[in-house]
Amino acid sequence: MEQINYSQLTYLVILGSVILLWFVVQNRASLGKLMQQALIWGLIFLGVLAAVGLWEDIRQTVRPMQSVVSGDRIELPRAPDGHYYLTAEVSGVPVRFVVDTGASQIVLNQADAERIGIDTGALAYMGRAFTANGAVRTASVRLESVAVGPVRHADVRAVVNEGDMGQSLLGMEYLQRFSSIEITGGTLVLTR
């Protein structure tokens, strides 16, 4: 850590005080307006300090939470809610998944299943899944393809959840198609 050079600090404090005193003397006729402007500049300064201090959180919220695909490697940044999200093309339709190592399979919610062309009303919900909210019925389906950039898998097994589910899940059966799964520095890395 650098040591504080007190002579330079003293010089800067004296210089700043002289400039401030000169500015006040020059504007003594309109001190109310001067105080108002000083308050505005002080608030701007505090706003900039807050933005710098919270920059990492702001950047996580503002930047898109999408995967970075390079060759056989997919990198997923952690979202502000702590989950990892992946948008994959399922049978040519983009579907946003929560990467869930606690789920055994790809689990589609009703809305996503219908968007990719599955008639959810004609499915036989004969399976059963046990979730944090209790048991739900599921129906087995085959997905023509699941693709993330150049990484493509054909004829993928999945289930459609009959219950209320906000987000489709990308479970271990799909994740095991990759040779390596690691979490490092807030990023989930899938390597083929």
Q: How far is CA 72 from CA 36, 39, 145, 177, in A?
A: 58, 54, 17, 12
Query: What pLDDT, on the 0 to 100 scale, is given for residue 22?
Result: 86
Per-residue model confidence (pLDDT) at position 66: 57
- Domains in the chain: boundaries: 6-53, 65-191
**What local confidence, expressed as pLDDT, does residue 1 receive?**
45
Contact predicate 180/173, CB 8 Å = no
In tens digits, the chain (192 residues) has pLDDT values of: 467 788 888 998 999 899 888 877 887 788 788 788 888 988 998 888 888 887 766 665 655 555 566 677 888 888 878 888 888 899 889 999 998 888 888 999 889 999 999 888 888 888 887 777 778 888 889 999 888 877 888 888 999 988 888 889 988 888 888 888 898 888 888 888
Q: Which two tokens stand for residue 157?
A: 């097994």
pTM score of the predicted model: 0.63
Query: Residue 152: its pLDDT value, please?
Result: 85
Per-residue pLDDT at 18: 92
Degrees to nearest 5, angle at CA 58 with 55 and 63: 115
3-state class of 144 per DSSP? strand
The pLDDT score that the predictor gives to residue 141 is: 92
Contact 166/148 with Cβ under 8 angstroms?
Answer: no
Pick the CATH number of 65-191 from 1.50.10.100, 2.40.170.20, 3.90.120.10, 2.40.70.10: 2.40.70.10
Strands, DSSP E only, in 7-132? Answer: 68-70, 73-77, 85-90, 93-99, 106-108, 127-131
H-state helical runs in 90-170: 110-115
Six-digit token pair at 129? 């899944």
